[in-house]
Amino acid sequence: MKHSGQEARTEAPSLRLVKDEPMQRVSELYNRHLPELLFLAYQIVGNDEDAEDAVAGVFERLIRIAGEMERSGILSPDGEMVGYLKISVRNACFDMLRVRKRQASLLDRVRVSLGLNRKPEAYERFQQEAMNLMMEELSGRERQILQRHIEGYKNHEIAEELSVSELTVRNTLHNARKRIRKLWRIFMT
């Protein structure tokens, strides 16, 4: 399934209509809204397989609760159900992204514990020396503020400690980062 631009899969497999009225309504929703839901999911997760999994998960859940939704008068082929489906697909996609991030974080911790992410010491020294040289190019105030920011201080904490406004801290950080990026580009060419 390709999703370039506004294209969405239109040859979607259809759910067969069943005699059970709630299931028939779920089938109608699926057949009518699958392309736009797949497109929405693809925009969030960025790949076809995960987009299809997210949409399938939403419809599997809907199938499980269709009878209950029908009894409460919520299940309808149009109207509020489209919004419900879009929000459900969006949430399913964000859940997938959170799981991916958690798995990547766990994998990074395993790599670190096994020593697989270690950079050569010479490279680390090079980076540290380059950063020190660039920091020397900043003004004293820029250096103070950037150093505290690197150490994890919040802007309001830096402002309080240095007796300046938070706006001054924010602007100084912006300018210091800009100068560091410029110096890094010069240094690396």
Q: Are 164 and 151 in contact (CB under 8 A)?
A: no
- Tell me the per-residue pLDDT of 131-163, one tens digit each, with 9 for 90 and over: 888 888 889 899 899 889 888 899 999 999 999
For residues 51 and 90, give the distance between their C-alpha atoms in angstroms, rounded to a whole number: 10
CATH topology of domain 21-114: Rna Polymerase Sigma Factor; Chain: A (1.10.1740)
Backbone angles phi, psi at 16, to 5 degrees: -70, 140
Res 100: pLDDT: 83
Q: What ranges do the domains of the chain cover?
A: 21-114, 121-188
CATH topology of domain 121-188: Arc Repressor Mutant, subunit A (1.10.10)
Listing DSSP states for 145-169 in one string gives: HHHHHHTT--HHHHHHHHT--HHHH
Model's pTM, two decimal places? Answer: 0.48
Res 5: pLDDT: 42
The burial of 141, by beta-carbon neighbours within 10 Å (0-12 exposed, 13-18 middle, 19 or more buried), is given as middle
Res 36: pLDDT: 95
Return the half-sphere exposure (C-beta side, CA atoms, 13 A cut-off) of residue 79.
Answer: 7
Spans in the chain with pLDDT lower than 50:
2, 4-12, 17-18
Helices and strands in the chain, H and E counts: 7, 0
Res 159: pLDDT: 93
Res 112: pLDDT: 66
